[in-house]
A and B are shown apart, each in its own frame.
Chain A
Amino acid sequence: KNEVEQSPQNLTAQEGEFITINCSYSVGISALHWLQQHPGGGIVSLFMLSSGKKKHGRLIATINIQEKHSSLHITASHPRDSAVYICAVITGNQFYFGTGTSLTVIP
Chain B
Amino acid sequence: KAGVTQTPRYLIKTRGQQVTLSCSPISGHRSVSWYQQTPGQGLQFLFEYFSETQRNKGNFPGRFSGRQFSNSRSEMNVSTLELGDSALYLCASSLLTGTGILPYGYTFGSGTRLTVV
Contact of B102 among A41, A44, A88, A99 (CB under 8 A): A88
Determine if A31 is an interface residue (Cβ-Cβ < 8 Å): yes
- The A interface, classified by DSSP as helix, strand, loop or mixed, is strand
Assess the A30–B111 pair: CB atoms within 8 A: no
A41 closest partner in B (C-beta):
B111
B113 closest partner in A (C-beta):
A41
Q: Can you list 21 A-B contacts with CB-CB less than 8 angstroms, sorted by A residue number?
A: A31-B99, A31-B100, A31-B102, A40-B110, A41-B37, A41-B111, A42-B108, A45-B102, A45-B106, A90-B99, A90-B100, A93-B56, A93-B100, A93-B101, A94-B101, A95-B100, A95-B101, A95-B102, A97-B44, A98-B42, A100-B42
Assess the A42–B110 pair: CB atoms within 8 A: yes
Determine if A27 is an interface residue (Cβ-Cβ < 8 Å): no
Assess the A33–B108 pair: CB atoms within 8 A: no
Determine if A86 is an interface residue (Cβ-Cβ < 8 Å): yes
Q: How far is the CA of A40 from the CA of B108 in the complex (A)?
A: 13
Determine if B104 is an interface residue (Cβ-Cβ < 8 Å): yes
Question: Known contacts A48-B104, A97-B42, A100-B42: does B99 contact A42 (CB below 8 Å)?
Answer: no
Determine if A76 is an interface residue (Cβ-Cβ < 8 Å): no
